[in-house]
Every structure is written in structure tokens, then in C-alpha cells.
């Protein structure tokens, strides 16, 4: 017969093991019950708040700031934002993601830049913390087989496809179609990537004009007079622009000075719709069209967002950055509500089942097996006296397109 230990029999028996396991399960389940019922979800919001992309990061954060009260009003569970600044650098983005997770972030949102977002996605996948991408167009991010990464933004290919289709819709609606075009693009990774997409996709979409002269310019250029002169010399009816806000201002100024009046300007990407462009150029900014990931101004959630931004940030227009960051938090809140748990796997499973129609962007929110939302689309947004009017797709429009654009001295 085995000798008893002093103080009683402490050997592990089936009975003692079962009792312990039951107790542990009760505690864990109870904790989960408590979390689901009241604890705010900790959301790491990672954006380039400083550095060269600071302006974009700040405008993204505006969308995040106004999101919490709107979501709460609609009965979504509470979120707690844990801001992180990538400083516009990839290596910092990685470090920030790690830090936020170590500090208790249960889900991540970010990060505007594709390079930085890719770095964060790797961390999220490794640490098994879900990441909801607000803005990042590089297709490869959702081609890695990640289980915890979800993107509610158009890929570069989707942006180009929408660009081609939307302008055809504008031409058809206005019954005026240009027959020639010239393309000016910033000569960096972003500009050349979009150009590559245009070259690949244009033949598939039966455009009314061939791809005309392509004029690349230095991203650090202080003066674009030669480039605009070259574009004007082609005699093209339409200017396509792939640029950033400073370039868009330089190009527009030169177009006015050189008295170049094409039928219109269609931009794919940032710059031509941004507040800095609108404020710097005033009425000269009117009638420029940007085909970019956008929001549907007619949706109820969009109207709430527009009102909130107008109240919190007077003089600021809602644009891509605010809209998509807001919607990322909507997605997070919706997933948390359905998961009823802050457990990473539960959240990830809930994200995979997402199907939101009461959102802000054009389309719905529904992720495919790779974590990509294929139903989200771009819009053609036209500048109109400091405001941005959606002119296509017509199903989401809140104004008629002005096409061709008005002469420079008649834009007021």
C-alpha cells in the first residue's frame, strides 16, 4: 500500500484533475462573459502621424476620432483607441505594432501606406492579432495567405479598373468623349505602379482613346513648367494625372499660366481633391475629377460621418482617409459585437463573416477567403467650390458632372 504524504493525500487523481479543470473552465468562461458584456475592445490604430505622410495620417485619425461616438450611438460596443505613430517609416511601423500588442491591443487598424501596412501585417499574423486595413493598395498584402489580416480597401488593380469605367460613365452621361489623352505621373513607386496597372488593364476596357504620351516627373521637382509644356504640346484633349498634392498644385498653376485648356483633368490618386489643393487654388480647382476610393454620400452612415467631421474639424472635407478609417473601426465594432469576445480567433472568425450594408463606402463590407473586400469601389469625385461632389457611379452620385471643365476664367 503506498505511503501517505504528510498533510493528506496530494497525489493527482482523476477526480482531483476533473474538479480542477471544471473550476478553471468556470473562471475562464466567467472572465469571457465579463469581457463580452462590458469591457471596451482595445484597438491599436497605427498611422503615419509624423514624417512625410503626416498630413495623410492626421486626416485618417480624424476619421477614427469621430467614429467612437457615432458607433456608440448606434449600439455598437465600446472601443478604446490606442494610437501608434509609424513616423512614415516601415521599420517603425513594425516596432509600433509589436509595442501596441504588448500593451494589450486586441485588434489593429492601419496603416495608410502599403509598405508600412505590410510590415504590420507580418507582425499581426505572427502574433495572431487581427488587423483591419483601412488604406493600402498593394495587392500582395492579401495574397500571403494570412488568416488575421483583412483589407477594406481597393487594390491598385481595382483602382485602375474603376478609373477606366468611371470616366466612361462620365463621358456617356455628358455625351462628350475625348479622343486623345496625355498622362503625367510622379516617377516614384506609387506612380509607376499605377502606370503599370493602366497599361495592363486599358486594353481590356475598350477606352475611346489610346494611351497617349506618358510624361514622368521627378517627385522632388520644384517646377513642372517643362512637363506641362510637353503635355500641352501633344494637343491631347484629356489629362490623366497620377500625382500628389504638391505636384497637383504645381501642374494646375502651370496649366493656367501656359493657357492650356484641355477638356478636363482626371486624376487617379491623391492630390486633386485634398483640402490643401482646394484652399490653395480656390475656384481654379473646380471641375477636376478624381477617381479614388470614396464614400457614398447618400448613405445614412456617411451623412453621420460628414456631420461629425464638419462639427469636429470645421473647414475639412470628408475624403478617402477619414471615410476608410472610420469604416475600419465600424468593421471592428461590428465584429466584436458578433464575436461577443475579445479573443483573437473569435474576432478573426467574426471578421470573416462580416456583411455590413449600413456602411459609408461604395459597396458593402464582405471579405473573401483571402481577407480582401471585393465589393468596395471607387467613385469619381468632382471639385465644386471647395466641396467634393460624387458624379459617378450614378447610383451613388449626389450631383451632375460638369464635363468638359469650364475655362479657367469662368470657373467661379
Residues lying near another protein in the complex (CB under 8 A) are found at 187, 215-218, 220-223, 225-227, 229-230, 232-233, 246, 253, 256-259, 280, 284
Q: 1 or 220: whose CB is closer to another protein?
A: 220
Q: What are the φ and ψ backbone dihedral angles of 368, each rounded to 5 degrees?
A: -85, -170
- Residues 41, 79: contact at Cβ < 8 Å? yes
Contacts of residue 205, defined as CB under 8 A and 6 or more positions apart, other chains included, come to 161, 164, 165, 168
Strand partners of residue 132: 109, 150
CA distance 255 to 232: 8
Q: 105 or 242: whose CB is closer to another protein?
A: 242
CB 411, min distance to another protein, A: 12
CB 243, min distance to another protein, A: 13
CB 269, min distance to another protein, A: 17
Q: 233 or 307: whose CB is closer to another protein?
A: 233
Q: 98 or 188: whose CB is closer to another protein?
A: 188
Q: Are strands 264-267 and 41-47 parallel, antiparallel or unpaired?
A: unpaired
Strand partners of residue 372: 151
CA distance 326 to 61: 9
Strand partners of residue 383: 388
Comparing CA positions, the residue from 124, 118, 115 lying closest to residue 147 is: 124
CB 262, min distance to another protein, A: 16
CB 227, min distance to another protein, A: 4
Q: 287 or 296: whose CB is closer to another protein?
A: 287
Radius of gyration of the chain (CA): 25
Give the dihedral of Cα atoms 65, 71, 72, 75; nearest 10 deg: -170
Q: 61 or 185: whose CB is closer to another protein?
A: 185
Q: 244 or 377: whose CB is closer to another protein?
A: 244
Q: 67 or 215: whose CB is closer to another protein?
A: 215
CB 287, min distance to another protein, A: 16
CB 240, min distance to another protein, A: 16
Question: Counting Cβ atoms within 10 Å, is residue 10 exposed (0-12), middle (13-18) or buried (19+)?
Answer: exposed
CA distance 127 to 110: 16
Comparing CA positions, the residue from 79, 150, 158, 153 lying closest to residue 353 is: 150
CB 99, min distance to another protein, A: 25
CA distance 296 to 199: 28
Question: Counting Cβ atoms within 10 Å, is residue 23 exposed (0-12), middle (13-18) or buried (19+)?
Answer: exposed
Q: 209 or 408: whose CB is closer to another protein?
A: 408
Q: Are strands 131-133 and 107-110 parallel, antiparallel or unpaired?
A: parallel
CB 318, min distance to another protein, A: 23
Amino acid at each position: 500500500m503506498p505511503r501517505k504524504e504528510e498533510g493528506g493525500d496530494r497525489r493527482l487523481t482523476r477526480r482531483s484533475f476533473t474538479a480542477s479543470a471544471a473550476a478553471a473552465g468556470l473562471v475562464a468562461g466567467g472572465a469571457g462573459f465579463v469581457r463580452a458584456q462590458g469591457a471596451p475592445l482595445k484597438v491599436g490604430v497605427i498611422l503615419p502621424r509624423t514624417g512625410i505622410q503626416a498630413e495623410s495620417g492626421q486626416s485618417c485619425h480624424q476619421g477614427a476620432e469621430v467614429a467612437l461616438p457615432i458607433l456608440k450611438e448606434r449600439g455598437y460596443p465600446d472601443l478604446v483607441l490606442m494610437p501608434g505613430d509609424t513616423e512614415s517609416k516601415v521599420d517603425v511601423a513594425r516596432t509600433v505594432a509589436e509595442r501596441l500588442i504588448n500593451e494589450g491591443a486586441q485588434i489593429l487598424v492601419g496603416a495608410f501606406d502599403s509598405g508600412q501596412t505590410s510590415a504590420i501585417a507580418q507582425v499581426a499574423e505572427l502574433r495572431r492579432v487581427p488587423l483591419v486595413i483601412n488604406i493600402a493598395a498593394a495587392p500582395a498584402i492579401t495574397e500571403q495567405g494570412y488568416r488575421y489580416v483583412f483589407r477594406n480597401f481597393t487594390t491598385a488593380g481595382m483602382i485602375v479598373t474603376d478609373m477606366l469605367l468611371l470616366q466612361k460613365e462620365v463621358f456617356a452621361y455628358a455625351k462628350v468623349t475625348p479622343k486623345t489623352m496625355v498622362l503625367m505621373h510622379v516617377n516614384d513607386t506609387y506612380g509607376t505602379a499605377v502606370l503599370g496597372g493602366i497599361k495592363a488593364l486599358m486594353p481590356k476596357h475598350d477606352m475611346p482613346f489610346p494611351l497617349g504620351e506618358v510624361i514622368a516627373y521627378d517627385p522632388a521637382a520644384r517646377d513642372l513648367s517643362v512637363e506641362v509644356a510637353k503635355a500641352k504640346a501633344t494637343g491631347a484633349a484629356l489629362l490623366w494625372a497620377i500625382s500628389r498634392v504638391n505636384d497637383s498644385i504645381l501642374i494646375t498653376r502651370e496649366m493656367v499660366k501656359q493657357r492650356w485648356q484641355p477638356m478636363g483633368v482626371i486624376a487617379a490618386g491623391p492630390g486633386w481633391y485634398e483640402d490643401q489643393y482646394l484652399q490653395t487654388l480656390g475656384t481654379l480647382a473646380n471641375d477636376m475629377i478624381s477617381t479614388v476610393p470614396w464614400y457614398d454620400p447618400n448613405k445614412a452612415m456617411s451623412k453621420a460621418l460628414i456631420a461629425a467631421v464638419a462639427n469636429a474639424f470645421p473647414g475639412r472635407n470628408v475624403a478617402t482617409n477619414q471615410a476608410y478609417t472610420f469604416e475600419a473601426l465600424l468593421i471592428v465594432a461590428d465584429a466584436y459585437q458578433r464575436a461577443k469576445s475579445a479573443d483573437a480567433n473569435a474576432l478573426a472568425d467574426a471578421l470573416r463573416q462580416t456583411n455590413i450594408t449600413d456602411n459609408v463606402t461604395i459597396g458593402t463590407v464582405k471579405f473573401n477567403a483571402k481577407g480582401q473586400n471585393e465589393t468596395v469601389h471607387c467613385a469619381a469625385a468632382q471639385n465644386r467650390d471647395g466641396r467634393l461632389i460624387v458624379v459617378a457611379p450614378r447610383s451613388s452620385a449626389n450631383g451632375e458632372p460638369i464635363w468638359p471643365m469650364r475655362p479657367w476664367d469662368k470657373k467661379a
